Amino acid sequence: MNNKFPKVVFIGGFGRSGSTLLERMLGQTVGFFVIGELRHIWERSFSENQLCGCGKPFKSCEFWRQVVTEVFGSFDRVPLDQIIDLKRSIDRIQYVPQMVTPFKLKEYHQKFKTYSAILTEIYRTIQSLSGCNVIVDSSKDHSYGHLLASIKEIDLFTLHLVRDSRATAFSWLRKKRRPEIHWAIEYMPQYTPLRSSLIWNVMNLSIASIRYRRGQYLRIRYEDLVSDPSSTLGQVMDFLGERDKRLDFIQDNVVKLDLNHTVSGNPIRFEQGHMEIRVDNEWRKKMDKKDFNLVTFLTWPLLMSYGYLSAGNQ
């Protein structure tokens, strides 16, 4: 694809699968710039002024102020209500069929052109201001992935990150605070095992289908990433055509994390310094047996496909 297009790595997958961890590790690579979940920038950053990964409120972050100035002129000139309306009429699961068909309805097509032009300009500006060739977007959601796959003006690479459905279901039961909401104490949503199982199936199937539209697709497992981060990241670099990149920021499963400018994601995006990468297997001991059996029953076809029901992985 033409090199003038921004090279965007979209990390897709269900929440609690390690996307922020993967993104943070990629962000330590020379020439890579991580932005968090850009899909949520309008509501969480522009509207609510949540914390950037650097620790400052979004509108006080020097990097994002530069981006906004380049794209819109100033924060005051951002047509926020109009953009949020555009997003909600384009980037939702019910509109995926419109994204993938060449025969778009006229009204949808016009809105898509307008919104995709805004996103493309943001990616281009981030690439220019950061001086990095690769932009990593961990938005995860499948409808956003299909939206990006429909934008011809970006060079898209899809990294499909999967994790054992039982582990994600157990994680969604945990109560986790959202530190980016700095003006109040709020927590992430919690899902029942039934709900998380259904979303896990839909999300992973839909993200996998992106490879039939844009062929630059790679699936990796969270468990492999945390067990052998150097090897897994090496595989990712091969996929991205960045084989010459050094991964010396990882030593003995310890990764050195620098400051970043991510706009949304797991609280570990605020971590800096050395962090140990280890497998989280708490669910194997503490998950309720009924929940375990329910999630296994509802998700077994993909669990088998991903290798989670093979000997030693159950």
Q: Domain count of the chain?
A: 1
Domain membership of residue 148 (yes or no) is: yes
Runs of H (alpha helix) within the chain: 19-26, 62-72, 80-88, 96-100, 106-130, 142-149, 165-172, 193-208, 222-227, 229-240, 282-286, 289-305
Q: What is the pTM of this model?
A: 0.96
Domain membership of residue 173 (yes or no) is: yes
Using alpha carbons, select from 134, 142, 180 the residue that is nearest to residue 161. Answer: 142
DSSP state of 241: T
Which token pair is 109? 């097509």
Order of all β-strands in the sheet with 32-36: 32-36, 134-140, 7-12, 155-162, 217-221
Rg of the Cα atoms in the chain: 19
Query: What's the chain's length in residues?
Result: 314
Task: Kindly report, residue by residue over 196-229, the tens digit of the pLDDT.
Answer: 999 999 999 999 999 999 989 999 999 999 999 9
Provide the residue type at 45 as one letter: S
Domain membership of residue 312 (yes or no) is: no
Which token pair is 166? 């039982």
Pairing of strands 250-251, 134-140: unpaired
Domain membership of residue 1 (yes or no) is: no
46: Cα separation from own chain's centroid? 19
Order of all β-strands in the sheet with 254-257: 250-251, 254-257, 273-276
Domain membership of residue 280 (yes or no) is: yes
pLDDT tens for each residue of the chain, 314 residues long: 345 799 999 999 999 999 999 999 999 999 999 999 999 999 999 999 999 999 999 999 999 999 999 999 999 999 999 999 999 999 999 999 999 888 889 999 999 999 999 999 999 999 999 999 999 999 999 999 999 999 999 999 999 999 999 999 999 999 999 999 999 999 999 999 999 999 999 999 999 999 999 989 999 999 999 999 999 999 999 999 999 999 999 998 999 999 999 999 999 999 999 999 998 999 999 999 999 999 999 999 999 999 999 866 66
Domain membership of residue 314 (yes or no) is: no
Domain membership of residue 311 (yes or no) is: no
Pairing of strands 155-162, 273-276: unpaired
The domain that contains 20 carries what CATH number? 3.40.50.300
- Maximum Cα–Cα distance across the chain: 58
Using alpha carbons, select from 22, 10, 20, 35 the residue that is nearest to residue 221. Answer: 22
Show the domain range for 248.
7-305
Within 13 Å, how many C-alpha atoms sit on residue 6's CB side? 27
Domain membership of residue 40 (yes or no) is: yes
Task: Kindly report, residue by residue over 11-30, the tens digit of the pLDDT.
Answer: 999 999 999 999 999 999 99
Which token pair is 296? 């296994």
